[in-house]
Amino acid sequence: MRPGSVIAYVGLGANLGNAAQAVTDAIAALDGLPGTRVLRRSSLYRSAPHEATGPDYINAVVALNTHLTAPELLAELQGLERAAGRQRPYRHAPRTLDLDLLTFGEGRIDSPRLTVPHPRITERAFVLLPWAEIAPDRVRPEHLARVSDQEIAKIQGI
């Protein structure tokens, strides 16, 4: 039996190739997933790598309305990453596209394959700032204060 519609939030990032185009293309692809529509999308943000090295990242967050289950949505996200040339040679490696399922409705999942809410949401300015832009009620001020030292800026004109 298929679940009803759920609001899920997805974090997007890339720092290889044309990262801004990769993130923009991924947002369009998310809107084309089966039973899924993008409800809101943040601006694009440029951020320094967090716990990693390499070029700056381009990041965004989208709100999806989906009829997919959380595991189905995760599989679709990973398929989009593969299609964009994502490789995982080591932890925190630079990437052509990274899609993280941040939340799935109000659900909590803790399995070997998927943890929702994403366990490191509150540690990452590149998630919190774009998320606060589209869903300010989901981001607590104390979490934003905790990441205020991380380098991130909204990209104007894209």
As annotated, the active-site residues are 86, 95, 98, 100
For the chain, how far is it from start to end, CA to CA, in angstroms? 41
Residue 96: CB atoms within 10 A of its CB come to 18
Contact 41, 49 (CB under 8 A): no
145 φ, ψ (degrees, to nearest 5): -60, -35
Instruction: Output helix, strand, coil percentages for the chain, rounded to the nearest 5.
Output: 30, 25, 40
- Amino acid occupying residue 113: R
